[in-house]
Amino acid sequence: MLRQLAYTTGLALILSGSALAQEEAHNDEDVTLYRVFVGDHAAPRITAFDLETPDNRWTFETIGQNKLYGVNDGAAVVAVQSDNDAVHFFNSGISLHSHGDHSDIEIADPAAVKETLTGPRPFHVIDHGGKVVINFDKGGYAEIIDAHELSHGELESKRLPQARAHHGFVAPIGDAWVTSVTSDAPVEGDAAPKRIGLQPVNEDGTPAGDVATCTAIHGEAFSGAYLATGCQEGVLTVMAGKDGLVTEMLEYPAELPSGQSTGTLIGSKSMQVFLGNYGAKGLVVVDPVDEPHFRYVELPFRRVDFALDPANARFGYVLTEDGTLHQVDVLDAKVAKSAKVTEPYSMDGHWNDPRPRLAMAGDEIVMSDPKAGVVRRISKEQLEEVGSIEVEGMPYNVAVVGGSGKVHEGHGESGHAHSHDHGEDQVYKGYFEDSQIKDRALSDWEGDWQSVYPYLQDGTLDRVMDHKAEEGDQTAEEYKTYYEIGYRTDVDRIEIQGDTVKLLTDGKPLEARYASDGYEILTYKKGNRGVRFIFKKTEGDDAAPQYIQFSDHKIAPEAADHYHLYWGDDRSALLEEVTNWPTYYPSSMGKEEIVREMMAH
């Protein structure tokens, strides 16, 4: 892990000297955390633990055997219980926000989302373009869930009906949708209808184009601009073109063993390429653009499970039934190295018999070993076990979330971190217990801050108002009037250093030193509450206010990412002021960043 961090830093240096200089100005801690979710083979139970510190462990009860998917960059975990007609959702507690040159990581406990989905035989899950789509194989529809709302702990779903119930999938591509389709020929008894291809549909399920043939369509993945899906005749690729969807059938070439096909695909996140199964003993590297589109990798034994490394697009990992783990070089389409990592698990028997499952976690492969009752940690580099974690019962399906990122502890420049954790979200909205409130020091607001009022005046925030109007019950104009009163101030900049606060109006400073004067809890008309953290002037300019009161949606020590400031000479009169709340963001933030930050809340 250390090595990887060093490498990343080295590359940043190569790519952008100035970015590195900025990094050094931050006083932030780099943190790597992977969290493993394991579903038991028999019991309706999910165990979650942190890979490095497995004593950080949580157990969740569900109603059936769980197949697990990390979605929305690992912010949430979906637990599909096909045989029990249920889908449960979990906030993973880890969220990563990419900022181009670095990521921010936020860590909390995992939590079950209260709402669940029920319906006839949920199966395939697709996580793409801000949507999580779950196919209900016996319901004849897919539920489309908003991924962002899910990471806030809310389940907002829409149903896309299919012409006929089948074991299939629905996927978003650009602004369009596609669904697998079946023949409409009648079937006897319980027999499944024949799956024949893929069709563009509108969000209400009505056809939006012709069916592209893909016999026995099964297995789907995204990589780069493409969706790929397995068929009897080849792999069908789909991409959004200027004038609608473009599909192409990449037929299996003659060199591949005949009579077999691809039914499971994994898409690389960092290079436009897919790794698929092919027959029982093979894998194929599928290149949607360049020839050869297929390169076959023959394995010595039947395949148990395989995974692609999201961190390094070059390698995939596959376990064969003899208990050997193989590293597959995707560029070279060859097994690069192999090592025995567990006892044999024969592929004879049912597909859902207890056998190991693989997931990637940074420099390690995480492998469930149901018969041994452990989750094994295997190094990518050596293919050697570096640890094993006991899990009650028969650990089976796994999902790993997390990664590396910065935990912001600095101020000002780094103040754009924000929380999406459910509990903190409630606090943000003003719902909390008195016992949760803790005294805070002025250092929570240290830094150089800018007023957002000028951005309201110059139209920069019009988009935020439009956004509020879309979500809320007032028009953009009404919101703007409300914020015009709220944000209004002539103090355009504030500098806070140690116990010194400088209020700047047109560059003219009022400077004074302040000491904590406790806090007050306010109850608003809507029923939610806020906490004012109050500071009293100890010395400084005569004209500087006697009191300043911060309100930043936080109720315990934590660096502010933005705040509302009230100031004046009468402590209690200030507490009555609830319509004008001058608002400040870090001076280092650009207009666009502020707009996006505001729209995220």
Partner 1 sequence: MKKMKLTRIVASLGIAISALVLPARAETEKLSVIATFSIIGDFARVVGGDLIELRTLVGPNSDAHVYEPKPADAIALARADVILVNGLMFEGFLQRLVEASGTSAAIATLTDGANVVHDPDGGHYHYVNGEAIFHEAPNDPHAWQSVSNAKVYVENIAGAFCSSDAEGCSTYEANAAAYLDELSALDTEIRQAIADVPEGRRVAVVAHNAFRYFERDYGVIFLAPQGVSTESEASAADVASLIREIREKRAAAVFAENISDARLVEQIASEAGLALGGTLYSDALSPAGGPAATYVDLMRHNLAILTAALTAD
Query: Quick one: which of 459, 472, 509, 557 contacts partner 1 (CB under 8 A)?
Result: 459
Q: Which stretch binds partner 1 (CB under 8 A): 79-87, 156-164, 195-203, 585-593?
A: 585-593
Query: Quick one: which of 31, 155, 249, 271 contacts partner 1 (CB under 8 A)?
Result: 271
Residues 26-45 that bind partner 1 (CB under 8 A): none
Residue by residue, DSSP assigns 233-292 as SEEEEEEEETTEEEEEEEEPPTTSPTT-----EEE-SSSS-EEEEETTTEEEEE-SSSSP
> 472 phi and psi, to 5 degrees?
-105, -165
Q: Which stretch binds partner 1 (CB under 8 A): 188-196, 271-279, 486-494, 520-528?
A: 271-279
CA distances from 415 to 446, 453, 558, 559 (A): 10, 19, 11, 7
- Contact string 296-325 vs partner 1 (x = CB under 8 A): ---------------xxxx-----------
Q: Please give the Cα distance from 197 to 407 (Å, whole number).
A: 46
The maximal CA–CA distance of the chain, rounded, in angstroms, is 90
Query: Quick one: which of 189, 190, 242, 434 contacts partner 1 (CB under 8 A)?
Result: 242
Q: Which stretch binds partner 1 (CB under 8 A): 88-96, 181-189, 208-216, 454-462?
A: 454-462
| Residue 270 engages partner 1 in binding (rule: CB under 8 A) | yes
- Using the minimum distance from each CB to partner 1, give the nearer residue, 103 or 528: 103
Q: Please give the Cα distance from 242 to 453 (Å, whole number).
A: 40
> 515 phi and psi, to 5 degrees?
-130, 150
Query: Quick one: which of 14, 185, 191, 543 contacts partner 1 (CB under 8 A)?
Result: 14
| Residue 476 engages partner 1 in binding (rule: CB under 8 A) | yes
Which residues fall within 8 angstroms of residue 234, CB to CB, at 6 or more apart? 249, 250, 251, 252
Query: Quick one: which of 462, 495, 517, 520 contacts partner 1 (CB under 8 A)?
Result: 462
Strand positions, DSSP E, 102-217: 103-107, 111-112, 117-118, 122-128, 131-136, 141-146, 157-161, 170-173, 176-182, 195-201, 212-213
Which residues fall within 8 angstroms of residue 444, CB to CB, at 6 or more apart? 533, 550, 552, 554, 557, 558, 559, 560
Element housing 573 (H / E): helix 571-576
| Residue 417 engages partner 1 in binding (rule: CB under 8 A) | no
Query: Quick one: which of 125, 201, 589, 598 contacts partner 1 (CB under 8 A)?
Result: 589
Query: Quick one: which of 22, 379, 443, 587 contacts partner 1 (CB under 8 A)?
Result: 22
Query: Residue 576 in contact with residue 585, Cβ under 8 Å?
Result: no
- Using the minimum distance from each CB to partner 1, give the nearer residue, 8 or 260: 8
Residues 560-579 that bind partner 1 (CB under 8 A): none
Cβ 132 to partner 1, closest distance in Å? 20
Query: Quick one: which of 45, 334, 529, 536 contacts partner 1 (CB under 8 A)?
Result: 334
Give the binding-site size for partner 1 (rule: CB under 8 A): 53
> Token digits for 401?
């979330």
User: Which residues sit at the interface with partner 1, rule CB under 8 A?
Assistant: 8, 11, 14-19, 22, 99-101, 174-175, 223-225, 240, 242, 270-273, 285, 287, 289-290, 311-314, 329-332, 334, 336, 459-460, 462-463, 465-467, 470, 476, 589-593, 595-596
